[in-house]
Amino acid sequence: DTAVSQTPKYLVTQMGNDKSIKCEQNLGHDTMYWYKQDSKKFLKIMFSYNNKELIINETVPNRFSPKSPDKAHLNLHINSLELGDSAVYFCASSQRTSGGAKTQYFGPGTRLLVL
């Protein structure tokens, strides 16, 4: 069973389009994250939700909007895609419990290419 899954795995689209990426975890965790990995492999956190509440909201263009319908799912919607949005987007999950930087488990990534 896949612990953290993402769909789609690949996404090729035109500039200006709107697209969504979905993430699901079956680990029973209460916290989920979105990261962006650029072409130089640098990982940057974008958002995090704990029990459907937004707890991390880094400096990200407001074209990016996360949504967490429940604690097992976290989606990322991107409006008006730009060339610079081309990257690999990773979802991750962890168990926040009483605090602490708990171990994060990553999905396989969604490779987004904007043409």
Partner 1 sequence: AQSVTQPDIHITVSEGASLELRCNYSYGATPYLFWYVQSPGQGLQLLLKYFSGDTLVQGIKGFEAEFKRSQSSFNLRKPSVHWSDAAEYFCAVGGWRDDKIIFGKGTRLHILP
List of residues contacting partner 1 (CB under 8 A): 4, 31, 33, 40-43, 45, 48, 50, 55-56, 90, 92, 96, 99-101, 103-109
Residues contacting 56, CB < 8 A, separation 6+? 33, 45, 47, 48
Q: Is there a contact between 84 and 44 (Cβ–Cβ < 8 Å)? A: no
**φ and ψ of 87, to 5 deg:** 180, 180
Residue nearer to partner 1 on the CB measure, 17 or 26 = 26
Q: How far is the CB of 15 from partner 1 (least distance, A)?
A: 25
Q: How far is the CB of 16 from partner 1 (least distance, A)?
A: 28
The residue type at 79: N
Residue nearer to partner 1 on the CB measure, 15 or 43 = 43
Q: How far is the CB of 63 from partner 1 (least distance, A)?
A: 22
Parallel, antiparallel, or unpaired for β 10-13 and 110-114? parallel
Residue nearer to partner 1 on the CB measure, 48 or 75 = 48
